[in-house]
Every structure is written in C-alpha cells, then in structure tokens.
Chain A
C-alpha cells in the first residue's frame, strides 16, 4: 500500500498552508495538493493592507509564496495537482488526482471560494471579451475606456477604485442604495471624479458594448454603453468535491464550528469554504492552526 500521510490538505491558499506549517512543526507528515500555485485568491490582489505585520502592505502572490516556503521549511510537501474525487471514511481518507491517489489519516478541506456569476444573458458568451472577474488582472486593458463594476461589497469597491485610476469612467451598479463595503472605501469612491453610481439597479443582460440594468423599485430599464463589465458580487464556496459527504449549509459552505471539525471524524474545513462570519486571510490562517490542534487530538485517539 502507498504512503499514508498524517494529514492531506486540499488547497494551497492561506488556510491550507497555515495548516501545513502547524502540522509539519507538530511532526506530522503532511502534503498539500494544489491545482495551480500557492496563494489561492490572494494572488488576485496586488495589495493586501490588513494582514498584520505588513505596515506598507504586501502583494498577494508574494505572501502566498512566503506561506508555502514557510511550511516547506519545516518539511511540508506540495504536489501541484487537482483533486478530482475524495473518499472520506473515518478510518482512511483518500484524495484522487490525475497523478494518483493520496491517502491520509486526516484531511483538511481548504479549497476556498470562486467568484460568483450574475447568471444573466451574455455573461458567459462575453467572458474574457468584455466580462471580467479580476480587475487587477484585466483592468489595464481598459485604459481610457468606460467600464461598469457590478456589486456593492469589498470586491466591487476595491475594483471600482482600482479601475478609476485606469479607466476614463467607472459606473458602479449596485442593487441596494448604499455600499456594503468596508468604510475605508466609501470616501475615496465618493470623491473620485470619474466614478458614477447606479443605485437600486439589477443587471438584466450584458451585450457587446452595453449593459442593461433595471431599477428594482420603478422597474425602469436603462441601457448603459460601456467597453467592459467587472463582476464583483461576491464568492461561492468551492465545495463540490465534498457534496453529499460533508454537511453543507444553504449557501453550500461546509458546516464546521470554531474547531473546524466536520461531521466526519478526522476531516476538517478551513478558510473561505467553511461557514463563518468573516472571510479574510487572517481568519483562514487562524482556521488552519486550529484544525491542526484538533487533528492532533484525533490522531491521539487512533493510537490509544
């Protein structure tokens, strides 16, 4: 039989690599299975200003690389491969990948979250040719152009601010009448000369060169000419892998309390994929550390 790790971690974002760091330092054999590269969602932002210790901010790609190297320094391993199927039995956990099956006594689900789609006509058809989900990646192609940002939370607010420095005009479309984003974004957005707001407006359709919105109160439709649309309406958990195995809430987040333990003994859920109030890097890394604490407790029961 192949090697059985003390811990398998699915996903190499901040939650996954913190679990790897703590597990390796606790003397456990641990492997991180990551489909792309270290960092997860952090790589989409060039500037993280609320990770304690980095007074001048840090870019997400670098922070991800650092977290990976930090865990590997203590013996954690990384395999760049996608987990396509899980088998979660109390006595043995198995993760299937195109390169083979990995076995573990414990398993941490750290698969994070992906951007939510609007689900309106035109969105899929114009993907990457006018419809975007990553302003820091694609914003610069709209230098001197008009763009629409959809949403009212932190992602949309940060996108709108970033784009206001590149684009000629930014139009923020939000279905409520105020921003849900953190206060630090409000003033700079309101003061930006080239940012306009369409409040109480819901997107109906995206076409090449324009977007159709409808006022949620009056029902009136407006067609706004624009060169590109950046969708920032939040995230959805990457929990398809564990559907039918782990308990999920109505939003498809994995149910696990502050211990990060799930309904299967020895299986833990950390970071954005877990049901929780605040999805940030600091809460993801916190989960990673806590998961290892309870994983050690669980491993001790196996040897008793």
Chain B
C-alpha cells in the first residue's frame, strides 16, 4: 500500500482507529533528513501489508505536530490502538526503522 498523507480531518479514522499498527512520520518538504528517509518509507509501505505508513506534513498540519509535541523532524512514531508504542528522532537506516515495529 502506498504511503498515506494524513490531515487533522483524517487523523482519527486513519491513525487512531486503524486496525493495523501505524508508522507515522512527521516531516516537511524543506527538511533534508526528512527527504532522505522518504524513499525508505515508500519502500516499507510497499513491502509491509501488516502495517500502515502515514505522513504528516508539519507545515500543513501544525495542530497535529503540536498535539504530539513534535519539535524535531523527522519524528517517527509507531501507533497501535491509538497509543504511541515506539518513537525515534532523526533520519535512520531502514533496518532501524523496521526494528521499531
């Protein structure tokens, strides 16, 4: 499945009420390290049917960013049943991102 772009209107349905674990990436177009992991997240989204990969653009969705106290990007969260079960900051290799799940 392709990466899903989330807004505050779709957040609850797609992320909080998701039946699969969600890998959620807070990013911005001007952030180099965010762009670095972009292709890695696309790959993970393609390869893993058992999870959902979602992205929040912090410029377009500042409410979501501040709700999750994001002040450093990229921030990756793993959300299961509406709760954060894992998180990491900064660009990470694919193996380390997969290990968060």
Contact = CB atoms under 8 A, between A and B. Distances in A.
A282 interface: no
Interface stretch (A34-42, A198-206, A246-254, A285-293): A34-42
Interface string A30-70: 00000111010011111000000000000111000000000
A11 interface: no
A203 B92 CA distance: 28
Interface in B17-70: 28, 30-37, 39-40, 65, 69-70
Interface of B: 28, 30-37, 39-40, 65, 69-73, 75, 89-95
Contacts of A190: none
A137 interface: yes
Given A61-B32, A127-B89, A137-B31, A228 B95 contact: no
B71 A130 contact: yes
A36 B95 contact: no
A61 B91 CA distance: 13
B35 A141 contact: no
Contact of A128 (B40, B72, B95): B72
Contacts of A243: none
Nearest to A133: B90
Given A43-B35, A129-B69, 19 more contacts: A35-B93, A39-B32, A43-B33, A46-B32, A60-B32, A61-B36, A80-B39, A80-B40, A81-B95, A82-B93, A128-B71, A128-B72, A128-B90, A129-B72, A132-B72, A137-B32, A137-B72, A140-B28, A141-B70
A138 interface: yes
A98 interface: yes
Contact of B30 (A36, A80, A136): A136
A166 interface: no
A13 to B, nearest CB: 12
A118 interface: no
A141 B71 contact: yes
Q: Which of under 10, 10 to 19, 20 to 34, or 35 or more describes the interface residues of A?
A: 20 to 34
A164 B15 CA distance: 36
20 contacts: A39-B32, A44-B32, A45-B32, A60-B32, A61-B32, A61-B36, A80-B94, A81-B94, A128-B71, A128-B72, A128-B89, A129-B69, A132-B71, A134-B33, A136-B32, A137-B34, A138-B72, A141-B65, A141-B71, A228-B71
Given A82-B93, A140-B28, A39 B36 contact: yes
Contact of B75 (A37, A46, A128): A128
Contacts of A81: 93-95
Nearest to A143: B62
A124 to B, nearest CB: 12
Contacts of A45: 32
A43 B74 CA distance: 13
